[in-house]
Structure 1
Amino acid sequence: MDVIQLIIPASDQRRLIQGSTYKSWTFQRTEVDIDVFTLPFKIRPAQAQLPPQLNSNFNAAVYVGRRIDLYNYRWKSVTPTFDVRRLQSRGFGYGLFAGIGSVSINEFVTRSPIGIEYEGVVLNAGIATIYDARIFNIGLALGVDQLLDRNRQRWIYQQKPWFGVLFGLNLN
């Protein structure tokens, strides 16, 4: 008869469990998650006369949040007399992020003509949800940008919400 040894880390207790008892188990682990990610695009809602915008400028951020990993341990029958153990895992997270990016600054996105067109530097911050896709993370973000130069008072997107898709790497 096949058995599995269950170790409880908090107390270092060990239990042997018979195969018939553990045909399918689900475990959960929660931890602090630290990631870096990029936002390949942001969707900015309409402002004044400007329709909604899809921006693909550079954006990178650090994410700190809560991660929940779900594990499913089960037996899969290969033949009537032979079973194979299978462990599947999925990770989900939610948290806060802060980062840096660039935005196009021109007469269309400022409240008054500025006479030049350039890439402005922004700090961005917000909330995100993440799905662990094994090699990398994907997710959705809701954030705001803060333009760092003298045109921040004129910029129509200053501290206005945007939505984005993120891709990242797990650092822990």
Structure 2
Amino acid sequence: MKNVKIIIVLLPLLAMVSCCEEKIILKGNKIYRYMNNQGTSKRDQVIEYTVQNDFKGKINDKNENYKISDVDELNLKPTDTADIDGNNTGSFLNMENIYYTSESKAFKGGKKFESDNFRFRYGKFALTGMTIPLKFRGGVGNDTINPPTVETGFNVNFAPAYRLNWSSYNPSKKFLGNTLTNYSLTFGGLLGVGSTDLKVKSNAPGLLSDRKSSTLTYGGMVLFGLNSIGIGYAFGFDNVMGEGGKYWVYQNKIWHGITVSVDLIK
């Protein structure tokens, strides 16, 4: 039990230490760069590059696409170009030598680049709010009075954790209203509060009368997520606060549960 508590405390700290702004940009992605050819005989162009191998870079949000910095230029292969009509060069103001994603404009002669998903992965610290609608508790004693049971009840939990993300971005396609689709695996500790019924004739023998008591919960969890919603498995230990705790047969005994979550910090 002591070791479990130590692990639960350390998980959030390890997550924060591991947090990183860099993303892994995946092999096969198409990225673009504007070339200012003024002063030469060539028209201004947009060059399409294909990523040859995964590399680390930084991705910043823009209105229509992502801007990528720390690009490994030796890892890019030019695969297509498009000439820019002279009347449209203003839309590329301040874009010289900047790599970006998802070029959807129409160029000279009606040329368009193929609209591909831009894929990347990364890990980060996350704070998740969750509820555990179902808890499975083992039997206590000879299982006659308190057999294995499924419990429902009100609870609110917070999970500082580490999240692995696999993301796909395409401004021309939307999934559930979003241009960014994110799949994730999250693991970490959880802390929460809830309530439970103490019953003299079953789970709290020796208590003077039945009552509803507040509980403090700690444990761990793993979540599978789609965008900001997650569902997964949790385990933990409940502690009734106050005098009733010494009578409650489930005090500090492990339970297993199904958890549903919503992101609080992106």
Asked if TM exceeds 0.5, the reply is yes
Where does the alignment leave 5 or more consecutive residues of structure 2 unmatched?
Answer: 1-45, 60-68, 81-115, 170-178
Task: Decide which of 129, 136, 143 is 2:222's aligned counterpart.
Answer: 129
In structure 2, do the counterparts of structure 1 residues 113 and 66 end up closer, same or farther at CA, with 3 Å as the change threshold?
Answer: same
Matched, 1:43 2:136: yes
Query: d(CA) in 1 for partners of 2:263 and 2:222?
Result: 13
Superposed, which structure 2 residues align to 1:104-143 within 5 Å?
104-107=197-200, 108-110=202-204, 112-143=205-236
Where does the alignment leave 5 or more consecutive residues of structure 1 unmatched?
Answer: 74-85
Query: d(CA) in 1 for partners of 2:128 and 2:180?
Result: 24
Matched, 1:147 2:240: yes
Q: Which of 1 and 2 has higher RCO (CA within 8 Å, sep 6+)?
A: 1
Q: Which has the larger radius of gyration?
A: 2
- TM, length-normalised to structure 1: 0.78
**Higher strand share goes to which structure?**
1
Deviation at 1:161, TM superposition (A): 0.2
- Name the count of aligned residue pairs: 158
Task: Decide which of 242, 249, 253 is 1:156's aligned counterpart.
Answer: 249
Identity value in percent: 21
Query: d(CA) in 1 for partners of 2:227 and 2:117?
Result: 22
Superposed, which structure 2 residues align to 1:66-105 within 5 Å?
66-71=162-167, 89-105=182-198
SS in 1 for 2:236: strand
Q: Which moved more, 1:40-49 or 1:92-101?
A: 40-49
**Higher helix share goes to which structure?**
2
Instruction: Kindly provide the CA deviation profile for residues 8-47 of structure 1, in whole angstroms up to 9, marking residues without a partner as x.
Output: 2297236344459xx9986320000111111111111111
Task: Decide which of 9, 13, 17 is 2:71's aligned counterpart.
Answer: 13
Query: d(CA) in 2 for partners of 1:19 and 1:142?
Result: 50
Please tell me whether the aligned partners of residues 5 and 14 of structure 1 are also in contact (alpha carbons under 8 angstroms).
Answer: no
1:161 maps to a residue whose letter is I
Deviation at 1:154, TM superposition (A): 1.3
Matched, 1:57 2:153: yes
Query: d(CA) in 2 for partners of 1:87 and 1:34?
Result: 20
2:154 maps to a residue whose letter is F
SS in 2 for 1:128: strand
Deviation at 1:129, TM superposition (A): 0.2
Root mean square deviation of aligned Cα? 3.0
SS in 1 for 2:209: coil
In structure 2, do the counterparts of structure 1 residues 46 and 18 end up closer, same or farther at CA, with 3 Å as the change threshold?
Answer: farther
In structure 2, do the counterparts of structure 1 residues 46 and 2 end up closer, same or farther at CA, with 3 Å as the change threshold?
Answer: farther
Query: d(CA) in 2 for partners of 1:2 and 1:13?
Result: 15
